[in-house]
Amino acid sequence: MEKPNKRILSGVQPSGDLHLGNYLGAIKNFVSLQHEYECFFCVVDLHAITVWQDPAMLAQKTREVTAAFIASGIDPDKNTLFVQSQVPQHSQLAWIFSCIARMGWLNRMTQFKDKAGKNSENVSVGLYSYPTLMAADILIYLATHVPVGEDQKQHLELTRDIAQKFNNDFKNDLFPIPEPLILGEAKRVMSLRDGTKKMSKSDPSDYSRIMLSDSKENIIQKIKKAKTDPLPLPENLEDAKKRPEAMNLLTIFAALSNTDAEKVILDYAGKDFSKFKNDLGDLASSKLSPISSEMSKLMNDKNFLDSIINSGKEKAISVADPVLKKVNEIIGFLSR
């Protein structure tokens, strides 16, 4: 089996409206990586159902994430865009990996602790074993690199452990040990209401996040209302780091304008937040509005989106199936 040396797999959940964190931490980076790597981008609907999803909304959000990929600049002809549940090899490998991963490894996952909170007896088993499915998503394509936001770093370390243990247990070298690509200025975009909390689809407050579907007016309004402290803008990076809300807005500004936070701090040092927020509102809406209007256009062309999803499925299966067959053979399963 030919082993790729620059292959990417990454996914986005159709679990709600995509936000600026998903865009800056993931999708924007995918757009630049497509020129350098062979890329597989998937809509991870199997991950989404680890918490309750309304069936009609799930179908709509699945198409919406696909539309967001394309509207942001991912070329569907050059890359493989597909839906996770349509490639059953992911779930089959995930079961095998749940027999490779150790309970102790999963018990250390901080995202499960955060998401389950005090309710851990009552959440789904899938929410707990989610990282073994993520490992299967990556390794079924023998992906060598995985672009993720900082929040997914621990899950990728688990993927590496699983790949290593499988290779050791079965004395082979099938799986690569994939490297994380944590790129861009905004590795962890924080809530606009609380600079210590990650911007997230599931935050109950709409004002905590800017959505890709927000209108220009909405974006400007949300940035105006974003929480800040009473001081003027920080004078240097050291100062900014002590002020989470200010640091978050500066980082967003830097990521949207393809520069770094230090440069933005230099431009706005000691100035008033109102001027900065006006500029950030204009910048964010000028970058996001074209994506949002392209997304609505694509959402009105269901046949086009479904044809992309369908050909993505065929391409994904043609790569994933030989890997699963090889895994089955290594383990000692009878051939199909």
**Residues tagged active-site:** 115, 198, 201
Cβ closest to ligand AQP, residue 130 vs residue 166: 130
Write down how long the chain is: 336
Contact 228, 273 (CB under 8 A): yes
CB of 145 to ligand AQP, least distance (A): 13
Contacts of 57 (CB under 8 A, 6+ apart): none
Contact 270, 297 (CB under 8 A): no
Residue 219, Cβ density class (10 Å: 0-12 exposed, 13-18 middle, ≥19 buried): buried
CB of 173 to ligand AQP, least distance (A): 27
Maximum separation of any 2 CA atoms in the chain, in Å: 69
Instruction: Give, as one character, the DSSP assignment of residue 180.
Output: E
Cβ closest to ligand AQP, residue 202 vs residue 300: 202
CB of 260 to ligand AQP, least distance (A): 16
Cβ closest to ligand AQP, residue 197 vs residue 326: 197
Cβ closest to ligand AQP, residue 111 vs residue 278: 111
* Residue with nearest beta carbon to ligand AQP: 25
Contact 113, 151 (CB under 8 A): no
Instruction: Give, as one character, the DSSP assignment of residue 19.
Output: B
In this structure, what is the dihedral angle of CA atoms 283, 288, 293, 294, given to the nearest 10 degrees? Answer: 130
CB of 12 to ligand AQP, least distance (A): 4
Cβ closest to ligand AQP, residue 47 vs residue 277: 47
Cβ closest to ligand AQP, residue 24 vs residue 327: 24
Cβ closest to ligand AQP, residue 151 vs residue 157: 151
What six digits make up the tokens of 95?
């079961």
Q: Which residues pair with 11 in a beta bridge?
A: 42
Cα(144)–Cα(37) distance, rounded to whole angstroms? 10
Distance of CA 6 to the CA centre of its chain: 19
CB of 45 to ligand AQP, least distance (A): 11
What six digits make up the tokens of 130?
């989610």
Residues contributing to the site for ligand AQP (CB under 6 A): 12-13, 15-16, 21-22, 25-26, 148-149, 151-152, 188-189, 198-202
CB of 316 to ligand AQP, least distance (A): 17
3-state secondary structure of 106: helix
Tell me the CA distances in angstroms from 85 to 13, 137, 164, 274, 308, one per residue in order.
12, 11, 26, 46, 15
CB of 68 to ligand AQP, least distance (A): 11
Contact 127, 46 (CB under 8 A): no
Contact 139, 101 (CB under 8 A): no
Tell me whether strands 80-83 and 7-12 are parallel, antiparallel or unpaired: unpaired
